[in-house]
Amino acid sequence: MLRIINGEVYDPINNINGEVREICIDDGRIVASVNGGRTIDAAGMVVMPGGVDMHCHIAGPKVNTARKMRPEDHRLDPVPRTSITRSGVGKTVPSTFATGYRYAAMGYTTAFDAAVPPLAARHAHEEFSDTPVIDKGFFVLMGNNEFIMQQIAAGEHERLRHYVAWLLNATRGYAVKLVNPGGVELWKFRGNAQTIDDEISGFGVTPRQIIVSLAEASMELHLPHPVHIHCNNLGIAGNWQATLETMKALDGRRGHLAHVQFHSYGGRPGGLFTSRVPELAEYVNTHTNLTVDIGQVLFGETTSLTGDGPLAYMLHQISGRKWANVDVENEEGCGIVPIEYKDKNYVHTTQWAIGLEWFLLVRDPWRIALSTDHPNGASFVAYPQIIRLLMDREYRREILKTVNPKAITKTTLLDQDREYSLFEIAIITRAGPARLLGLNSKGHLGIGADADVTIYDKQEDKEEMFSNPRYVIKEGEVLVEDGHIRKETYGQTLFVAPRFDPAVEKEIREYFDKYYTIEFENYPVQDNYLPRPQEVEVK
């Protein structure tokens, strides 16, 4: 039992904007009142629901290959063990224990890995079992799935839908994820997709068809989160068109566009980037079926790790830095390259500015989420830096003076006066993502909500404020207090289990026999891998 009194509460889902209110917790949930237990006096503090990260890369084969590839990064940030916590390494691709502790230390209590290949779902779950504190789940890569492409080509939409449901059950995943749909399949013979109407040779379908079919299937299955799309052509000058085409192709169907900053570039390939955020943001503003997360770039060294194999190769060709590529049979792929964003570099400054433009130009904060596509744009531990840039116009202007000036003039950033309020920050870092994910008991502090609560000292310097919460409460227990972890717990794994027609297994099994190298029976993730499973109902 716990009571939090005298704090300024920001609970946008329940329309609470800074009122001083009492929050009562019992048995892991928010309740109307409690008798007894601890009382936290939060006078002078801000109380919010725990943070929800809806797009990051923290578990699975891609992340682990990146870890194994980056010893030089690890050495910069060792994480010693304590009597309560395990040791590890931090920086851009932290080890699993450190990942959980650092999210917690920042007041985030839920995170979703954005891209897991189904064949390695078990691996992601194993890593999750070693990721403390946070509730977690992952999106299942399907945009280059060969079985799906075959069904699209054959016009078998119903079978496709049953397969999608079967796959979500088999992987204990949460949502349908597309990464460079069709492009990664072409990459397996050294090609790529540039537009959504390119033909995927060998299958006779286009990215457009993949996008529409899977958006449709996600809606038909009533999944809590819509199809989550990393558009074709990420990172290339001129790619805003593929992004716009993707949005248009959805044609009113619900869809979430991931790390949209990386997909907002004008100019021509090989030429200089410009920002096309105004056009894209206006489209998002006027089409309420669409939501985005930003994928903000911050200056400094990080690691690019993505399901977009050809993109990673391109980054390697530009920078010459070491490069890993892993193609996964029948399903997906990934690429990994260390990357440094430099504040005097034209392209990097443009990317940084574009992310901020998105934040400042989209009118409805409920439809955008704060993300850096961790670690592609920056580490998740840098979210407070973004919060400060959004809330503090003067600080933003200071930083604008230090970046590449020519790049800034090609964006609208100099004209942007808007400052985010605490209420809006609470939306884009917890309430909004929780809603976008369809997690009804997260991201708010109403009666019955999960008792995941973060309490911050109210400070002028918002980066300082959001970096060092005073208290972080998870499932009603105070886990972090005054910067120290008091207790180590493990959160739940959130997954969906939509129904499917078992008859579809016959075709899937035949497909396995021909093209996979493991048995159909050995593919689904067993119960053992989810020590704390939490099914999220599909309606």
Partner 1 sequence: MQFDHVVCAFCGCDCDDISVVVEGDRIIQAKNACVLGKAWFLNHGKPSDLPVARIEGRPAGLQEGIEEAARCLCSVRYPLIYGLSSTSCEAQRQSVALAELLGGCIDCCTSVCHGPSGMALQAVGEPTCTLGEIKNRADLVIYWGSNPGESHPRHMARYAVTAKGMFIRRGRKDRTVVLVDVRRTSSAAAADIFLQIQPGKDFEALWALQALANGEKLDEAGLAGIGLTLDQLTALAERMMHCKFGVLFLGQGLTQTRGKHFNTSAAFLLVRALYQHTKFALIPMRGHGNVAGIDNVLGWQTGYPFGVNFSLGYPRFSPGEYTAVDVLSRGEADAALIVASDPVSSLPARAARRLSEIPTIALDTHESETTRIAQVAITTATAGIHAEGTVYRMDNIPLRLRKVLPSSYPSDEEVLSRLLARVKELKAC
Give 89 or 168: the residue with its C-beta nearer to partner 1.
89
Q: Which stretch binds partner 1 (CB under 8 A): 259-267, 280-288, 479-487, 514-522?
A: 514-522
Q: Are 73 and 80 contacting, i.e. CB atoms less than 8 angstroms apart? A: no
Q: Are 267 and 234 contacting, i.e. CB atoms less than 8 angstroms apart? A: no
**Cβ of residue 406: shortest distance to partner 1, in angstroms?**
33
- Residues 386 to 415: which contact partner 1 by CB under 8 A? none
The one among 61, 224, 365, 384 contacting partner 1 by CB under 8 A: 61
Give 316 or 396: the residue with its C-beta nearer to partner 1.
316
**Cβ of residue 332: shortest distance to partner 1, in angstroms?**
10
Cα-Cα-Cα-Cα dihedral sign, residues 240, 244, 246, 247:
positive
Between the CA of residue 223 and those of 115, 125, 277, what are the distances in Å? 17, 20, 29
Q: Are 348 and 342 contacting, i.e. CB atoms less than 8 angstroms apart? A: yes
Instruction: In whole angstroms, give the CA distance from residue 137 to residue 110.
Output: 9
C-alpha R_g of the chain: 22
Give 131 or 349: the residue with its C-beta nearer to partner 1.
131
b/e per residue 315-338 (b: at least 16 CB within 10 A): bbeeeeeebbbbbbebbbbbbbbb
Residue 528 near partner 1 by CB under 8 A: yes
Instruction: In whole angstroms, give the CA distance from residue 257 to residue 242.
Output: 12
Nearest-CA neighbor of 212 among 185, 258, 176?
176
- Residues 131 to 190: which contact partner 1 by CB under 8 A? 146, 188-190
Residue 532 near partner 1 by CB under 8 A: no
Structure tokens at 109: 């209590």
Q: Are 495 and 529 contacting, i.e. CB atoms less than 8 angstroms apart? A: no
- Helix, strand, coil percentages (3-state) for the chain, rounded to 5, are 35, 25, 40
The one among 283, 313, 346, 395 contacting partner 1 by CB under 8 A: 313
Q: Which stretch binds partner 1 (CB under 8 A): 192-200, 217-225, 315-323, 374-382?
A: 315-323
Give 288 or 526: the residue with its C-beta nearer to partner 1.
526
Q: Are 172 and 121 contacting, i.e. CB atoms less than 8 angstroms apart? A: yes
**Cβ of residue 84: shortest distance to partner 1, in angstroms?**
12
The one among 38, 248, 268, 322 contacting partner 1 by CB under 8 A: 322
Q: Are 531 and 131 contacting, i.e. CB atoms less than 8 angstroms apart? A: no
Residue 199 near partner 1 by CB under 8 A: no
Looking at the DSSP bridge assignments, the partners of residue 266 are 274
Residue 531 near partner 1 by CB under 8 A: no
Instruction: In whole angstroms, give the CA distance from residue 524 to residue 466.
Output: 40
**Cβ of residue 269: shortest distance to partner 1, in angstroms?**
19
Number of residues that bind partner 1 (CB under 8 A): 62
Residue 517 near partner 1 by CB under 8 A: yes
Residue 330 near partner 1 by CB under 8 A: yes
Residue 122 near partner 1 by CB under 8 A: yes
Give 190 or 539: the residue with its C-beta nearer to partner 1.
190
**Cβ of residue 192: shortest distance to partner 1, in angstroms?**
12
Instruction: In whole angstroms, give the CA distance from residue 389 to residue 393.
Output: 7
Residue 514 near partner 1 by CB under 8 A: yes
**Cβ of residue 78: shortest distance to partner 1, in angstroms?**
4
**Cβ of residue 89: shortest distance to partner 1, in angstroms?**
4
The one among 482, 502, 521, 539 contacting partner 1 by CB under 8 A: 521
Give 22 or 488: the residue with its C-beta nearer to partner 1.
488
| Residue entry with tokens 């493990």 | 490
Q: How many CB atoms lie within 10 A of CB 405?
A: 13
Q: Where are the alpha helices (DSSP H) in 106-206?
A: 121-129, 146-153, 157-171, 183-187
Residue 320 near partner 1 by CB under 8 A: no
- Residues 63 to 102: which contact partner 1 by CB under 8 A? 63-65, 67-72, 74-75, 78-81, 86-89, 93-97
**Cβ of residue 312: shortest distance to partner 1, in angstroms?**
9
Instruction: In whole angstroms, give the CA distance from residue 412 to residue 360.
Output: 10
**Cβ of residue 129: shortest distance to partner 1, in angstroms?**
9
Instruction: In whole angstroms, give the CA distance from residue 405 to residue 457.
Output: 35
Residue type, 167: L
**Cβ of residue 109: shortest distance to partner 1, in angstroms?**
21
Q: Where are the alpha helices (DSSP H) in 221-306?
A: 240-250, 277-285
What 3-state class would DSSP assign to 242?
helix
Structure tokens at 57: 């890369």
Give 23 or 58: the residue with its C-beta nearer to partner 1.
58
Instruction: In whole angstroms, give the CA distance from residue 512 to residue 526.
Output: 18
Residue 307 near partner 1 by CB under 8 A: no
**Cβ of residue 96: shortest distance to partner 1, in angstroms?**
5
Give 220 or 327: the residue with its C-beta nearer to partner 1.
327
Residue 337 near partner 1 by CB under 8 A: yes
Nearest-CA neighbor of 224 among 13, 12, 440?
440
Residue 305 near partner 1 by CB under 8 A: no
Residues within the interface to partner 1 (CB under 8 A): 59, 61, 63-65, 67-72, 74-75, 78-81, 86-89, 93-97, 119-120, 122-123, 126-127, 130, 146, 188-190, 202, 313, 316, 322-330, 333, 336-337, 514-519, 521-522, 526, 528
